[in-house]
Amino acid sequence: MATEEVMSLEEAVQDDSDARKIIVRLLDESTQVATIKDHFSNFGAIHDIDLKVDDVGKSRCFCFITFTDAAIIDKVCEEVHSIDGKEVIVARAIPYKDRTKTNKLFVGGLPESLTEQDIHSFFDQFGKIEKIETVIDQETQRRKHFCFIVFDSTDAVEKAVNGKNPPRSVIHKIGKFRLECRKKFPEGHPIQKKFKEMRKQQMDIYPGPSIDTFGYSYYGYSSYGYPGTFQPYTPTAFSYGGPLRPNSQRGCFGYRPY
């Protein structure tokens, strides 16, 4: 059998395994594999249980379970599970290669003159758009300077950002306007949490209104995770060898390099 055929067979087996796998979190430290098997075998035949332990053999309180039938995974994840008197969290195990993928795109730096149709017409080159989510400022009743685009596939977002993960982003131009685009993950996602932590550290180092590359206060979306409002900022301090430039001329962190 040719090497290419062997590799494709291995990939197919791996993909099938991923579809049949769940992750169980918040297990009690004393919970054993046999107990886990007794509980989950009620849903279907189990192929393998991988209970994670540390260097000294102590349970890390989570495990992976691979069933023989992928069709039962949804039912298993919908149920509430309690093992050894403790409620555990059960979810599909997301393959590592898919953990950095999302079908949601953050677009910042939106001027008011760009309509939703303008945004749709430009970004549909990357894939089919399901919806565009905009946010209205409750005080001004005007659209904030960012939006989220939800595509029907993760491949569309990968194309839009050239496969880059936050905090890295890509600049797209619609006419004369430069828009900053990056992947948007759910708030509990490890990448999103790390990104928010980085933003918080940045704000601790540079206190005060946080000005982005385009002169907006993070487009009215503070730290890309906490709702905020657009607040024009006129600095009066001097730094980096001279006075700060107007918003439209400032670079990263609000400073233009000299």
CA angle 196, 201, 207 (to 5 degrees): 115
Per-residue pLDDT reduced to its tens digit, 215-239: 444 444 443 333 333 333 333 333 3
pTM of the model: 0.52
Helix and strand totals (H; E) in the chain: 6, 14
Of 220, 138, 106, nearest to 233 (Cα)?
220
Mean pLDDT value across the chain: 78
Report the 10 Å Cβ neighbour count for 111.
Answer: 16
**What is the DSSP pairing of strand 104-108 with strand 86-92?**
unpaired
Per-residue pLDDT reduced to its tens digit, 161-173: 998 988 889 999 9
